[in-house]
Amino acid sequence: MSEAEFRKTALKVGAASYAALKNAEKNVRKGESLLKVAEEAEKLLRDEGFAPAFPINISIAGNAAHYTPTFGDDSTFPEKGLVKIDFGAAMNGVLGDCALTVDLSGDYSAPAEASKEALENAISKVKAGVQVREIGRLIAETIGKKGFKPIKNLGGHGVGIHELHDEPFIPNYDNGDTAVLEENTIIAIEPFATLASGRGLVANGDIKEIFSFVGDFAQPRMPNSRTLLSMIKKDFAYEPFAARWLGSAVSNRFELYSGLLELERLGIIEAHPVLVELSGSQVAQFEASVLVTKDGCEVLTK
């Protein structure tokens, strides 16, 4: 793919990512089905000729990232809390990644605004040659001045061809990393902010609904596992996928999740567990993908 073709595709993917994100945002309200919102946003991308770059993340309150509705999920949006919507489109291996936060009750608008302002300030800092630690420092300063904490073990990342989380890592604080941004590369910047009472750190939770194919290293024993593997290799060999996307391949919930468990145990797939703030504190997130240029950057997800 030529440089011109790459930029053209990246702009199309970015626009589609943002449109799907905003479509999901307008449907976030108390009592609405999470599964309905997810399926509508993902269908919107597919109907426009894109694939999801990853299953839509709908992470609520102290869940910072990686929650996507389960197979047959009957959960609904609560009355209060911060809802993080994180989504992106894919085309020819070019990936989009963007996120926003919805405050369901109005009680937590301040940390959401801190995260959004941190993103805007970070974007203004981007250009080829800038050290990633400088972006992290600005994010932490912005969030800290508002009275909140950045999530230190989450951050942005490079976005490569079929590689959602590529180098470099874009920290949300000055981590001392002197790696520099390179021209004509895509990075996703995603400041996470939590309350002053929070720990400012996340850990893996118990819920696993998003997976990636690693490699066909072993022969699964169970028939349902082999059926799932065949579908994964055919349809989801490159980008992360949701457990619920495989529901049509098996006859019930037990066969789906027991099959995924065996595939994970064999190292054929990798799970991406829900990431939970260590104290359970509310978490806000905003994210944009940008193309790094010599003198600045071009926001793709708009």
pLDDT reported for residue 257: 98
Length of the chain, please? 302
CA dihedral 244, 247, 251, 255 (to 10 degrees): -50
The domain 210-271: what is its CATH number? 1.10.10.10
- Whether 281 has a pLDDT exceeding 90, the answer reads yes
Determine the pLDDT at residue 80.
Answer: 96
Predicted confidence at residue 217, as pLDDT, reads 86
pLDDT score of 8: 96
Rounding to the nearest 10 degrees, give the CA dihedral for residues 44, 49, 55, 58. Answer: -30
pLDDT digits (tens, 9 = 90+) for 216-269: 989 999 999 999 999 999 999 999 999 999 999 999 999 999 999 999 999 999
Residue pair 139/122 in contact by the 8 Å Cβ criterion: yes
Q: What was the pLDDT predicted at 2?
A: 86
pLDDT digits (tens, 9 = 90+) for 164-204: 999 999 999 999 999 999 999 999 999 999 999 999 999 99
Tell me the catalytic residues: 86, 97, 157, 165, 190, 287
Q: Could you tell me the CA-to-CA distances from 84 to 38, 63, 76, 135 in Å, in that order?
A: 12, 9, 14, 22
The answer to whether 300 and 251 are in contact (CB under 8 A) is no
- Please state, in angstroms and rounded to a whole number, the distance separating the CA atoms of residues 138 and 200: 16
Specify the pairing of strand 155-160 against strand 149-150.
unpaired
Do 104 and 32 meet the contact criterion of CB atoms below 8 Å apart?
no
CA–CA distance, 140 with 175 (Å, rounded to integer) = 11
* Alpha-carbon torsion, ordered 216, 218, 222, 224, to 10 deg: 0
- pLDDT at res. 3: 86
Q: Cα(273)–Cα(253) distance, rounded to whole angstroms?
A: 19
Token pair listed for 82 = 């911060």
> Do 127 and 182 meet the contact criterion of CB atoms below 8 Å apart?
no
Contact 53, 45 (CB under 8 A): no
Annotated domain spans of the chain: 3-205+279-299, 210-271
CA distance 85 to 41: 11
Its sign, for the CA torsion 220, 223, 227, 228, is: negative
Q: Which residues of 104-116 are buried (b: 16+ CB within 10 A; e: fewer)?
A: beeebeebbbbbb
Going by pLDDT thresholds of 50, 70 and 90, the confidence category of residue 1 is confident
pLDDT at 182: 98
Provide the 8-state DSSP code for 179.
Answer: -
Could you tell me the two tokens for 237?
Answer: 């060999």
DSSP string, 260-295: HHHHHHTTSEEE-PPEEETT---EEE-BEEEEE-SS
What is the three-class DSSP state of 178? Answer: coil
- The DSSP call for residue 180 is B
Percent helix, strand and coil across the chain, each rounded to 5? 35, 25, 40
Model pLDDT for residues 109-167, shown as the tens digit of each residue = 999 999 999 999 999 999 999 999 999 999 999 999 999 999 999 999 999 999 999 99
CATH superfamily, domain at 3-205+279-299: Creatinase/methionine aminopeptidase superfamily (3.90.230.10)
End-to-end CA distance of the chain: 23
3-50 pLDDT, tens digit per residue, is: 889 999 999 999 999 999 999 999 999 999 999 999 999 999 999 999
